[in-house]
Amino acid sequence: MTTALITGATAGIGAAFARRLAAEGHNLVLVARDVERLREQATELHDRHGIEAEVLPADLSRDEGIAAVEARLGDRQHSVDLLVNNAGFGNRGSYLEVPMADELAMLKVHCEAVLRLTSAAATGMRERGRGGVVNVASVAAFVPRGTYGASKAWVVQFTQGAAKDMAGSGVRLMALCPGFVRTEFHQRAGMSTGNIPGWMWLDADKLVATALADLARGKSVSVPDPRYKALMGLVKVTPRGLLGGVTSRTGRKYGPR
Ligand SMILES: NC(=O)c1ccc[n+]([C@@H]2O[C@H](COP(=O)([O-])OP(=O)(O)OC[C@H]3O[C@@H](n4cnc5c(N)ncnc54)[C@H](OP(=O)(O)O)[C@@H]3O)[C@@H](O)[C@H]2O)c1
């Protein structure tokens, strides 16, 4: 039986990964901050699918949280075969409206944690000659979209570069770039989603099924939906100034603090 570790496992895309991987018979290590929610999820997945679900509470915006997950990934007695770096969030507000401490917390979760956890996992995976890492980025990585988009651009560049460096090692690394997905993300960030057209919303379970198929195919970047593949094609030929006018506004209206 293989083991997958998922960060941000309790909600949205991470929870969809947990459901799918449990249904396929993988044991799980579930990471997030809310311990009660983690425990409930672990019990439910264990009871429904008969898998082992371990709970690892950690705040990935803090050094000790990242270190705790690094330690689990480095445990050679209980190796992790698939890492899903999914935990993430958006800050409320555009550039200069967001307190610097919140900007730095986002970089810590989206970039530092992803770098450190990928490295902790990939070291053992390379020794064993197999394994996979999915780093959840966003299509925001390809367009002007505040500091959030900039952090996700880092995730894509890092993952593609690491995948190239590890080619032939048996370890697959893939950046997953979803468009809008109905999760807790927008509510947590205080975003009003009223100006996002209905056709732009993706289903988390379908997204995860496509992502895992793309990982199995050996892709290093996955944009898992024909609508967004077409949009990203348009992005490549649209002048940057014009593009930013649309992409930096869509879905970025914030309610009062
Ligand atoms: N939803 C979208 O439209 C969308 C689109 C593109 C990309 N994404 C990306 O997809 C990923 C998942 O987002 P989602 O939409 O599924 O969000 P979500 O529903 O809000 O879930 C976020 C998950 O991350 C955990 N988390 C948040 N901050 C954390 C921290 N400091 N340490 C550890 N865990 C933390 C949360 O649990 P706790 O609060 O208990 O810690 C929760 O399990 C993110 O990286 C996001 O940027 C989302």
Per-residue model confidence as pLDDT tens digits over 52-62 = 999 999 999 99
CA distance 148 to 144: 9
pLDDT of residue 257: 64
Q: Is the pTM of this model over 0.95?
A: yes
Low-confidence ranges of the chain (pLDDT < 70): 255-257
Q: Tell me the CA end-to-end span of the chain in Å, nearest whole number.
A: 46
Is 10 near ligand 1, meaning CB less than 6 Å away?
yes
DSSP conformation letters of 168-189: TTTEEEEEE----B-SSHHHHT
Residue minimizing CA distance to atom 7 of ligand 1: 138
Catalytic residue among 95, 148, 228, 254: 148
pLDDT of residue 41: 98
**Residue 254 annotated as catalytic:** no
pLDDT of residue 192: 87
Spatial neighbors of 158 by CB under 8 A, at least 6 apart, are 111, 114, 115, 118, 135
Distance from the CA of 73 to the center of ligand 1, in angstroms?
A: 20
pLDDT of residue 6: 99
pLDDT of residue 148: 97
Distance from the CA of 109 to the center of ligand 1, in angstroms?
A: 10
Is 138 near ligand 1, meaning CB less than 6 Å away?
yes
CA 176 to chain centre: 7
